[in-house]
Structure 1
Amino acid sequence: MKESIILAVDGGATKTTLTIRSIQGNCIFEKTTSGCNYQTIGVDAATELLSHLLHSAYLSTKLETIHAAVFAMAGIDTKSDLQTVTHIIKQSLQGTPFHIEELVIENDVQAALVGLVENQPGALLISGTGSIIFGTDGKGYIVRAGGWGHRASDEGSGYWIGRQILKAVFRAEEGLEKPTILKKLVFEKLQIHSIDQLVTWLYQVDYTNAQTASIASVLKEAVSLGDKKAIHISEIAAEELFLLVKAMLTKLHYEDKGFTLYLNGGILKHDLFIQGRLRQLIHQTYPQITISLCEDPPVEDIVRRAKYALKNVALSKKKPPLH
């Protein structure tokens, strides 16, 4: 009997990774390209990007049968989004000979959560360019909080932090707030020398949310230098992320039981001040919760999600037919 083959796509807002593995974990193909969130780049561009990735995967592997495929995609926030993304994926697959026996299309964070916990209770909080949390009771009930995009949500995210930094720089420039080291650090990062240049950078034609989010990386240095404004922004970011956790647990009807909260995303992995403050807030209110920092790249969680899907298919085949 041939070894089962799985395909996993981590389709984020910043980058997209497609990998093909054997069920034993051997990597047959893997490639990373730019983000494929259709809300950011449009339906046609997302379809073209996925088509190229899938075509490259087929040319490299010459495989035709994929036993389980999980497309974990950013931008699936509503039923309408799911329909749109499903259409994008099916259009992309038409250009390859791949025959997929079990196809799963989910929000990228939801898919990663299932890959992490399978049928155990737990949650996954991400703060990267955006912020979002998914939680499950381990019995199939899944809830979410946040992640509604930069226009209405994403508090505590890299984009949100970047905006707070920019506001602080401009307000200090106007004399509305005290001077902050954030101005010097932002100028150094962007290799600019004036507020005029900052405005030009901010309103460039090809501006993306990721550019504002990239500014968040200067926050931890400003905090280490004792900058009061940077410390304030960091504390508020942690509090906003804690509110996401609290909202998720309320929706999940959490009681003081064993529960693992996984943390991922650039802000939570690299800004130790924000991560530490968040841990403190959670432990003060929910002492029974175990907090675990994700070490593997997100695509590995999606691979585990695909294996879990394959396991469920096998279990369903073993069940006796209903009479």
Structure 2
Amino acid sequence: MKESIILAVDGGATKTTLGIQTSGGERLFEATAAGSNYQTIGANAVIEVLSDLLQKANFATKLETIDVAIFAMAGIDTQSDFEALTHIVQQALNSTHFNINKAILENDVQAALLGLVGHQPGVLLISGTGSIALATDGNGNVVRTGGWGHRAGDEGSGYWIGRQILKAIFRAEDKLEAPTILKKLVFEKLQIDSIDQLMTWLYQADYTNAQTASLSTVLQEAVSLNDEKAISIAELAAKELFLLVKASLNKLRYKGEPFKVFLNGGILKYHPLILNSLQQLIREDFHHISLSLCDENPIESIVKRAQYALLQ
């Protein structure tokens, strides 16, 4: 029996990965390029990123027909976003000679969730630069909690943590709070030695929220040194992430049955106190939840999502 050909795109805010595999798991091509969130870099830049990856895949594999292609893209939050990305993806596809039998465009987190759970119920919580939770009842209903971006939300994320660190430093400078070792660690990371320089860094013309998110990397060292403010920030981050999970379960009218919750993102992978506190909070309120920290490459979940689509 001839194996199907799957093309999967994981289009995140910081990087975009395109992979081509057979339905049996043979890898035919994989490449990574810059991020492809059109809300951040604009439609033309995303078309360029996708076109370049598709052309490289076309040249490397010499394939003519793709049975199913899934484009899991960051930035699909509204119907207008979906329409914009539909146009962007079509423009990129026009630059190649692939003949695609079935194409799917989804929010990247939704595609990853469906790849993880298939036709079963489950929740996927992600805390990286931003934070979001998506949940499904296994019957086609998908609900979202969070993911409103750094201007209005992203609680418990790398950006949120970075902002809490900055607030702690400035409040300590104003004698409103006790000093924290976070100041020393941030200064070392940024290679600066004064509050004035921190202000200059924070309000530079080319500032991005990813820069503030990068400060979250110092939190774990401060926690390991028993800094009270750092521990407080970590514990509050865990509470905020727990609320995303709890709200998602409530939206699905969860009744206490066995349920899977998948955890992903750099904050949960590299901050043990946040992860452990979050797991404890979930287990205290939901006794039949099984928790899994995702350890596979995100593109693999997208490929699985495409494999499920082949069966539909």
Normalised-by-shorter TM-score class: over 0.9
**Partner residue of 1:156?**
156
Gaps of 5+ in 1: 313-323
Secondary structure of 1:151's counterpart equals coil
1:174 is displaced (CA, Å) by 1.9
1:246 is displaced (CA, Å) by 1.0
Code of the aligned partner of 2:141: Y
Change over 3 Å in CA distance of 1:193–1:115 after alignment to 2: same
Secondary structure of 2:10's counterpart equals strand
Code of the aligned partner of 2:250: T
- Residue identity over aligned pairs, in percent, reads 66
User: What CA distance in whole angstroms lies between the structure 1 residues aligned with 2:4 and 2:55?
Assistant: 20
**Partner residue of 2:117?**
117
Secondary structure of 1:262's counterpart equals strand
Gaps of 5+ in 2: none
User: What CA distance in whole angstroms lies between the structure 2 residues aligned with 1:29 and 1:194?
Assistant: 48
**Partner residue of 2:301?**
301
**Partner residue of 2:239?**
239
User: What CA distance in whole angstroms lies between the structure 2 residues aligned with 1:305 and 1:162?
Assistant: 33
**Partner residue of 1:57?**
57
User: What CA distance in whole angstroms lies between the structure 2 residues aligned with 1:10 and 1:144?
Assistant: 19
Can you list the C-alpha shifts for 1:119-174, whole angstroms capped at 9, x where unaligned?
11111000000000111111111111000111111100001101111111111112
Structure 1 segments, 4+ long, off by >3 Å, are none
Change over 3 Å in CA distance of 1:205–1:58 after alignment to 2: farther
**Partner residue of 2:269?**
269
1:64 is displaced (CA, Å) by 1.6
Aligned partners of 1:14 and 1:210 also within 8 Å? no
Aligned partners of 1:181 and 1:222 also within 8 Å? yes
TM-score, normalised to structure 1's length?
A: 0.94
Secondary structure of 1:75's counterpart equals coil
**Partner residue of 2:310?**
310
TM-score, normalised to structure 2's length?
A: 0.98
**Partner residue of 1:175?**
175
Secondary structure of 2:7's counterpart equals strand
1:60 is displaced (CA, Å) by 1.4
1:299 is displaced (CA, Å) by 0.8
User: What CA distance in whole angstroms lies between the structure 2 residues aligned with 1:30 and 1:192?
Assistant: 39
Change over 3 Å in CA distance of 1:256–1:300 after alignment to 2: same
Code of the aligned partner of 2:297: P
**Partner residue of 1:165?**
165
**Partner residue of 1:87?**
87
User: What CA distance in whole angstroms lies between the structure 2 residues aligned with 1:228 and 1:33?
Assistant: 40
User: What CA distance in whole angstroms lies between the structure 2 residues aligned with 1:263 and 1:310?
Assistant: 26
**Partner residue of 1:279?**
279
User: What CA distance in whole angstroms lies between the structure 2 residues aligned with 1:234 and 1:35?
Assistant: 28
User: What CA distance in whole angstroms lies between the structure 1 residues aligned with 2:105 and 2:156?
Assistant: 27
CA-based RMSD: 1.0
User: What CA distance in whole angstroms lies between the structure 1 residues aligned with 2:195 and 2:28?
Assistant: 49
Stretch of structure 1 that moved more, 169-178 or 127-136: 169-178
Aligned partners of 1:137 and 1:252 also within 8 Å? yes
Stretch of structure 1 that moved more, 69-78 or 199-208: 199-208
**Partner residue of 1:317?**
none
Q: How many residues align?
A: 312
Pairing 1:259–2:232 present: no
